Amino acid sequence: MVETEDFRKDFPLLRQQMNGRPIVYLDNGATTQKPESMIRAMCGYYGGCNANPHRGAYALSVEATDIYETARDRVRRFIGAKEAREIIFTKNATEALNLVAYSYGLSNISAGDEIVLTIAEHHSNLVPWQRVAKAKGAALKYIYLEKDGNLSEKDVADKITKKTKLVAITHVSNVLGLVNPVRRVADRAHEAGAVVVVDGSQSVPHIAADVQALGADFFAFSGHKLLAPMGVGVLYGRASLLETMPPFLSGGDMIEYVEEQESTYAELPAKFEAGTQNVGGAAGLTAAIDYLENLTFERVKAVEDDLLAYALPQLRALPWIELYGCDSERDNKTGIITFNVKGVHPHDVSTILDSEGVAIRAGHHCAQPLMKYLGQIATCRASFYFYNTRQDIDRWLDALGKVREVMRIGN
Amino acid sequence: MGIEDIYTELIAEESRSTEHRRHLDAPTAVLKGRNPSCGDEIALELRVRDGVVEDAAFTGVGCAISQASTSLMIGLVKGQTAEKAKALAETFLAMIKGEIPEDDPALDELGDAAALQGVAKLPARVKCAALSWHTLTEVLEGKK
């Protein structure tokens, strides 16, 4: 058992109580809570050196520029990119993936081409590709799952062909919590001449991610799932690809010269960062990454593994609980448990758990095609982070017991 | 207010009731109500003749609150004039949004459906209780 109690003290929200008891926050897949050091970094930026970066030739603006570019290099090191100009700041993973779809996708995908996705994609790495496919007359092909929730090896082999121009794959499913074999899929895609777009939103908070080792051509994630504020996200793109791509959003700061009829565009990364950027968010992201790397991913994994090992046998012993994606034997499960209470709708489960101070997610988790594939309209999801404890699991399981009582389902 | 005041025995039982869960013969209107954020989908079937709701039923899936609310609504409006049913829906929707006092005498007209009053205290679930009543209003106003 790992001692985790000490992490909560770093998180102002987790120090609060609800109805006289600590809050049990098990919706980390949606967004994580924020450490004090990150909040202080944002306050420090806005209270100490706020100015528009890249513009004014005065000390404050220079300092803001420095904070912003420091964040870029911090992200570069964090995900193992070669160059800082390969890191584009966006508002979130969704915007990052849309950037790839609209800029790379619309320029490089044509009628008759194929885009291959996994059925476990979040809508943010799925709907943009539907739009590209519709606009260009391309086809979408899906990699489905084995019984244990892992990607079908047969589909990986069969669906990626010479026709495939792009493969979109999530590093970790936000519903199943399973780490996908991104490198293997990327090798297969590259053999076929396709580029690989990886959604790292659910991986970077939990496991070390190295874009070069993964073979990712594009890699997107949101800051807010990684201890950082909402409103700052990242797109990594291989420089050789980003250089050939047209701008996505256009306006201030992404140009060199603007004439009445024509403009020339700035070099990377500015070409993809139109308008005033979220420097406060970038400052927060630097502090969040510092916190996480100081903690180490080994500690994160140790806590999550412990919580899974503690919770899963207890859940399996309850005949009225159904589990999804909890049978992988590959040691590739992150701290997500997706489940249903038989005979009770997930939204009722979540409301009743909330009355016990336990926050979980209920619904389709922005993954409707996966829900349909699993034969469920909706599910409940408890997602852990390193600040969760065995006491949190106890409170969650106790509250689950209450669900059937409240719904008057016989024992 | 505790969770038991929202998920009362009546609501829990009504959510599993099959009394009104069927298809109608010769419905004059069938309309689906959807809450895309929950994946809930409830199809309401009505037979309205000469300004009277002769029969009503529903099919589909949803949470206990939406299922109980639909079932109670059907029990309430069956046999009523369309005008009266519309007025009842208006009262129910005002109640669920917390727009009328808890002891307003108009609530008596809602019968057992007044048991859903507690949902007004759960902002995230108001849409579940309101779903079928909105569908009913749409049908009766001829928007189907």
Could you tell me if A310 and A243 lie in one domain? no
Could you tell me if A205 and A64 lie in one domain? yes
A383 part of a folded domain: yes
Could you tell me if A258 and A341 lie in one domain? no
A363 part of a folded domain: yes
pLDDT at A357: 95
The whole-model pTM stands at: 0.95
Domain final residue pick, A272, A292, A312 = A292
Could you tell me if A17 and A93 lie in one domain? no
Cβ neighbours of A348 in B, within 8 Å:
7, 63-65
Domain final residue pick, A267, A292, A317 = A292
pLDDT at B102: 87
Could you tell me if A281 and A308 lie in one domain? no
3-state secondary structure of B136: helix
pLDDT at A172: 98
Q: What does residue A139 show for φ and ψ, rounded to 5 degrees? A: -110, 145
Cβ neighbours of A363 in B, within 8 Å:
37-39
In what helix (H) or strand (E) does residue A136 lie, and over which residues does it extend? helix A127-136
Number of inter-chain CB pairs under 8 A, A vs B: 51
CATH T-level topology, domain B3-140: Sufe protein. Chain: A (3.90.1010)
Could you tell me if A22 and A63 lie in one domain? no
A79 part of a folded domain: yes
B144 pLDDT band, cuts 50/70/90, is low
Rounded CA-CA distance A3/A390 in Å is 9
Q: What's chain B's Rg over C-alpha atoms?
A: 14
B7 pLDDT band, cuts 50/70/90, is very high
Domain boundaries, chain B: 3-140
Could you tell me if A22 and A52 lie in one domain? no
CATH number, domain containing residue A335? 3.90.1150.10
- Dmax over CA atoms of chain A, in Å, equals 75
Annotated catalytic, A49? no
pLDDT at A355: 93
Cβ neighbours of B42 in A, within 8 Å:
none
Domain final residue pick, A269, A292, A315 = A292
Could you tell me if A194 and A124 lie in one domain? yes
Apex A361 CA angle, A359 and A364, nearest 5? 170
Could you tell me if A28 and A73 lie in one domain? no
Return mean pLDDT, chain B: 93
Could you tell me if A145 and A183 lie in one domain? yes
Domain encompassing residue A310: 5-33+296-406
pLDDT at residue B135 is higher than 80: yes
Could you tell me if A212 and A250 lie in one domain? yes
Could you tell me if A322 and A356 lie in one domain? yes
Apex A328 CA angle, A326 and A330, nearest 5? 140
pLDDT at A122: 98
- Report how many domains make up chain A: 2
Structure tokens given for A130 = 């539907």
Which residue from A268, A339, A231 is spatially nearest to A85, judged by alpha carbons?
A268
pLDDT at residue B119 is higher than 60: yes
- Answer whether A407 sits within 8 Å of B12, measured CB to CB: yes
pLDDT at A5: 58
3-state secondary structure of A331: coil
DSSP state of A177: -
Going residue by residue through chain A, which has 411 residues, state the pLDDT in tens, using 9 for 90 and above: 555 558 999 999 999 988 889 999 999 999 999 999 999 999 999 999 999 998 778 999 999 999 999 999 999 999 999 999 999 999 999 999 999 999 999 999 999 999 999 999 999 999 999 999 999 999 999 999 999 999 999 999 999 999 999 999 999 999 999 999 999 999 999 999 999 999 999 999 999 999 999 999 999 999 999 999 999 999 999 999 999 999 999 999 999 999 999 999 999 999 999 999 999 999 999 999 999 999 999 999 999 999 999 999 999 999 999 999 999 999 999 999 999 999 999 999 999 999 999 999 999 999 999 999 999 989 999 999 999 999 999 999 999 999 999 999 975
pLDDT at A1: 52
Q: Which residues make beta-bridge pairs with A382? A: A337
b vs e for A143-181, b when ≥16 Cβ sit within 10 Å of the residue's Cβ? bebeeebbbbeebbeebbeebbbbbbbbbbbbbbbbbbb
Is B63 at the interface with chain A, CB within 8 A? yes
Query: How far off is chain B from A243, nearest CA to CA, in Å?
Result: 39
- Answer whether B4 sits within 8 Å of A406, measured CB to CB: yes
Is A345 at the interface with chain B, CB within 8 A? yes
Number of C-beta neighbours around residue A241 at 10 A: 16
Query: How far off is chain A from B97, nearest CA to CA, in Å?
Result: 18
* A340, A341, A347, A381: best to mutate for the B interface, most B CBs within 10 A: A347
B36 pLDDT band, cuts 50/70/90, is confident
A411 part of a folded domain: no
